[in-house]
Chains A and B, each alone.
Chain A
Amino acid sequence: QQQVKQSPQSLIVQKGGISIINCAYENTAFDYFPWYQQFPGKGPALLIAIRPDVSEKKEGRFTISFNKSAKQFSLHIMDSQPGDSATYFCAVFSGNTPLVFGKGTRLSVIA
């Protein structure tokens, strides 16, 4: 059973547009929701993360929106740039159990 479902699988956005990636989870015990960014040929790197006691967290052009009742969280990239083209993974975490990742979204930002 997939613990976190990520969509879309791929996304093409015009430069300057907003990129939105969504994740849904089932287990209400999860208490940490990070997003990882991965460039080709590199390992994933933490981009931004949120805990369920807040509904939104913003860092520069990147924002996580969190809906605890719907068990969903999303990544918004404002003013998307070609340098944002990468694969994005959401993840969920509970206690000392390992991170569980979504299947990833390949974002392409075109000029």
Chain B
Amino acid sequence: NAGVTQTPKFQVLKTGQSMTLQCAQDMNHEYMSWYRQDPGMGLRLIHYSVGAGITDQGEVPNGYNVSRSTTEDFPLRLLSAAPSQTSVYFCASSYLVSGNTIYFGEGSWLTVV
């Protein structure tokens, strides 16, 4: 049982480049989300999804796109990377019931130069 798997672990991008951070979970969780973690800022929600075909914006959605074509996968796309998007990104998933444990991936370290 792999849990929540994120790839890549590390990535360096040039300003203006695009890329996709991959997230997959094998627990049949309805709920999936993306957070970014910056020093002193905690975990801030970027986008989330409550099921295949349904996505919604979180606290800091600008510059990011998501889609949810399957229950298992929730990729995060940076269309035109900016230095302000240098961060650690975490994907998370859970069952869609109040109080259920949210499981996090191990993170993707992204640097935009």
Chain B: number of interface residues, binned into ranges: 20 to 34
Contact between chains at B43 and A101 (CB < 8 Å) = yes
Q: Determine which of A6, A9, A46 lies in contact with B102 in the assembled complex, contact meaning CB atoms within 8 Å.
A: A46
Most buried by A among B44, B102, B105: B102
Point out the residues of chain A lying under 8 angstroms from B92, CB to CB. Answer: 43
Q: Are A44's CB and B104's CB within 8 A?
A: yes
Contact A103 B106 (CB under 8 A): no
Q: Is the CB of A98 within 8 A of B45?
A: yes
- Tell me how far the C-beta of A75 lies from the nearest C-beta in chain B, rounded to whole angstroms: 15
Does B62 reach chain A (CB closer than 8 Å)? no
Name the prevailing secondary structure of the A interface residues. loop
Q: Is B99 a contact partner of A43 (Cβ separation < 8 A)?
A: no
Contact with B along A22-61 (1 / 0, CB 8 A): 0000000001101000000111111001010000000000
Q: What residues on A are CB-neighbors of B99 within 8 Å?
A: 31-32, 49, 51, 93
- Decide if A103 touches B98 in the complex (CB within 8 Å): no
Closest chain A residue, CB of each to CB of B38 = A103
| A42 contacts B48, C-beta separation under 8 Å | no
Binary contact readout B25-65 vs A (1 if CB under 8 angstroms, 0 otherwise): 00000000101000011111100101000000010000000
A96-B43 in contact (CB<8A): no
Which residue on chain B has the smallest CB distance to residue A99?
B102
Check A98–B98 contact: CB distance below 8 A: no
Asked if B102 and A43 make an inter-chain contact with CB atoms under 8 angstroms apart, the answer reads no
A93 to B98, CA, bound (A): 8
Interface flag for B90 (CB, 8 Å): yes
B101 contacts the other chain (CB 8 A): yes
Does A95 sit at the interface, judged by CB under 8 A? Answer: yes
In the complex, which residues of chain A have a beta carbon less than 8 angstroms from the beta carbon of B79? none
Nearest first, the 6 A-B pairs at minimum CB distance are A43-B104, A103-B42, A101-B43, A32-B99, A46-B101, A101-B42
* Chain A interfacial positions (CB closer than 8 Å to B): 6, 9, 31-32, 34, 41-46, 49, 51, 89, 93-96, 98-104
Interchain Cβ contacts under 8 Å between A and B, 24 examples: A34-B102, A41-B107, A43-B90, A43-B92, A43-B104, A43-B105, A44-B43, A45-B104, A46-B102, A49-B99, A51-B99, A89-B43, A93-B99, A94-B98, A96-B50, A98-B33, A98-B45, A99-B45, A100-B45, A101-B35, A101-B42, A101-B43, A103-B40, A104-B43
